[in-house]
Structure 1
Amino acid sequence: MSEPGKDARRIVDVTLDEQSVARRSPEVEHERAVALFDLLEENNFALVGGEPGPYKLSIGIFEQRLVFSVHGADDRKLRDIILSLTPFRKIVKDYFLICGSYYAAIKKLGTAQIEALDMGRRGLHNEGSELLRERLAGKIELDLDTARRLFTLICALHIKD
């Protein structure tokens, strides 16, 4: 039996706008699938000054903006949160570059080089996650792990120039 209020700060469903999703390498697609699974398993997410959850979240890109469409468990729209993509562009680009290097290194380089690339990859991922938390401040409260998983999903979206 679930505890009262247990789902008040929780996402119970996530969808990515299929028009926005970029097809990436199998490794990146795997990261996206893992991020979706992990996000639904454990997250801490709440609308600031809004209704408590549970929430359903749809993430997409519309007119060069990142859109978080937050719905209640009953599918009633609670709020759209729209963020400029501009602050994310460089981090996402750098993240994909280092991910590519990391996946290539796994196939042919030694442990020390792979670990160095992985540290860089995790550092950029943390930077992107913190940026997301800053941009959502005052709109959505979320912990770092939830921000990390959401940042992975943002990276999966096709950002058109």
Structure 2
Amino acid sequence: MSEARNERSPHRLVAVTLDEDSIGRGNPDQEHERAIAIFDILEDNQFVIPGRDEGPYRLHLGLVENKLSFAISTESREPVMTHLLSLTPFRRVIRDYEMICESYYNAIRTASPTQIEAIDMGRRGLHNEASETLKQRLEGKVDLDHDTARRLFTLIFALHWKG
């Protein structure tokens, strides 16, 4: 039901791309997570630019001079705006998230279900923290729902994978 509502709303993303110059290839688990995040964003998202109704929008994420670039255009590729966000507020959570993801991927191969669940709870908690930081950093520029912010953080994290 939310999918039908979202298809009519101009306040959504219809395309999300990552800057190929900014991103390295991840391992198969990381590539899979990135593909799922993009698919999930496009299935259902809320992306509102206060005071504007020319959506739906396209989003191109990248890194520009160590800043996160949100290049937003209309569905017909007309530029709307670009936001550059400092990565400083994300550095600790990205570092911690990277460590816990590595532990999680190792655990799913060898650990007990209880251990995997405990690691995954920590991973989800860090993911939620980063999502809230993203929403706060975009406040007044772009309004996101919780799920869209989570999925976008997955893609932001993808920009930090080492090839």
Question: Between Structure 1 and Structure 2, how many residues are aligned?
Answer: 158
SS in 1 for 2:80: strand
Q: Which of 112, 115, 118 is matched with 1:113 structurally? A: 115
1:82 aligns with 2:84: yes
Query: Which residue does 1:13 correspond to in 2?
Result: 15
Distance (whole Å) between structure 2 residues aligned to residue 14 and residue 25 of structure 1: 20
Q: CA deviation at 1:90?
A: 1.0
Identity of aligned residues (%): 53
List alignment gaps of at least 5 residues for structure 2. Answer: none
CA contact (8 A) 2:19 2:61 kept: yes
Query: Which residue does 2:25 correspond to in 1?
Result: 23
Distance (whole Å) between structure 1 residues aligned to residue 102 and residue 11 of structure 2: 35
Q: CA deviation at 1:134?
A: 0.4
| Mean Cα deviation higher: 22-31 or 68-77 | 22-31
Letter in 2 for 1:23: R
Runs of 4+ in 1 over 3 A off after TM superposition: none
Which digits, 9 at most, give the CA deviation of each residue in 1:76-133, with x for residues without a partner? 1001111001111111111111000011011111111100000000000000000000
Query: Which residue does 2:96 correspond to in 1?
Result: 94
Give matches, 1:16-95, under 5 Å.
Answer: 16-95=18-97
Q: CA deviation at 1:159?
A: 7.6
SS in 2 for 1:123: helix
Letter in 2 for 1:29: E
List alignment gaps of at least 5 residues for structure 1. Answer: none
Query: Which residue does 2:133 correspond to in 1?
Result: 131
TM-score by length of 2: 0.92
Query: Which residue does 1:141 correspond to in 2?
Result: 143
Q: CA deviation at 1:22?
A: 2.5
Letter in 1 for 2:18: L
